[in-house]
A = this chain, B = another copy of it.
Amino acid sequence: MRISELAERTGVPLATLKFYLREGLLMPGTALSATRADYGDEHVRRVALVRALTDVVGLTVQQVRGVIAVFGAPPEELFESLGRAMAHLPPTAPPTDGHPRARAALDALGWRCDPRYPAVAQLERSLAAAESAGMPLDAERLAVYAPAIRAIAEYDVANVPDDPDRALEYAVLGTALFEPVIVALRRLAHQDAAAERLGR
């Protein structure tokens, strides 16, 4: 299809598609002549992903480029590709010094995580923040939270598609989109549980 048809199919304005092409977020079509190119279903899919990452998840062009760069990696490197793609999702925490709190928590849980993985620094920062506010995450609370979170993550991972690029799409969108859902559901569960406890 022509780029004008791609715009129609995706509902993304032509100017935006040209911006995606210029920024390397959308791969070029097959050149038919000096000024015409042909686009296919993979372009439709990519446009939808880029739009979701920018407009819905709120990533910067730079962050989307980082995610996109991982696509097309060989299937046997899927685990590493997933880690690289996820590293571009905010909050991208600056590395911390040995992240002792995160390490202690992960050791207690027996979870194997690459210490260079940004979520380790993210956990360290959030644990340090809780501690400095006088409400550290103690072992008892961790023992309640972790299995619950693990159950969610097991379901997420069990549903990863087999195709590597689809798997990356699923992982990035599923992580970013469901985090605010989880946080909102916890606040609502608080309200229902408090109503029960306080007899409303």
- The interface size of chain A toward B, counting residues with CB under 8 Å, comes to 76
Q: Are the C-beta atoms of A187 and B119 separated by less than 8 Å?
A: yes
Q: Find the B residue at minimum CB distance from A51.
A: B133
Would you give the 0/1 interface string for A56-88, flagging 1 where the beta carbon is closer than 8 Å to chain B? 110000000000000000000011001100100
Q: Per-residue 0/1 for A143-186: is the Cβ within 8 Å of any B Cβ (1 yes, 0 no)?
A: 01111111111111110100000000011011101111111111
Nearest CB of chain B from residue A112's CB, rounded to whole Å = 5
Known contacts: A120-B188, A152-B144. The answer to whether A173 contacts B86 by CB under 8 A is: no
- Contacts A145-B152, A151-B148, A179-B183 given; does A133 touch B56 at CB 8 Å: yes
Complex: A170 Cα to B52 Cα, angstroms: 36
Residue of B nearest to A158 (CB): B197
Q: CB of A134 within 8 A of chain B?
A: yes
Q: In the assembled complex, which residues on chain B have CB atoms less than 8 Å from the CB atom of A191?
A: 83, 111-114, 117, 119
Q: Is the CB of A175 within 8 A of B153?
A: no
Q: Cβ of A144: which chain B residues have Cβ within 8 Å of it? A: 151-152, 155
Among A16-24, A29-37, A122-130, the one that faces the other chain is A122-130
What is the distance, in angstroms, from A185's C-beta to the closest C-beta of chain B? 5
> What chain B residues lie within 8 Å of A182 (beta carbons)?
145, 149, 182-183, 186
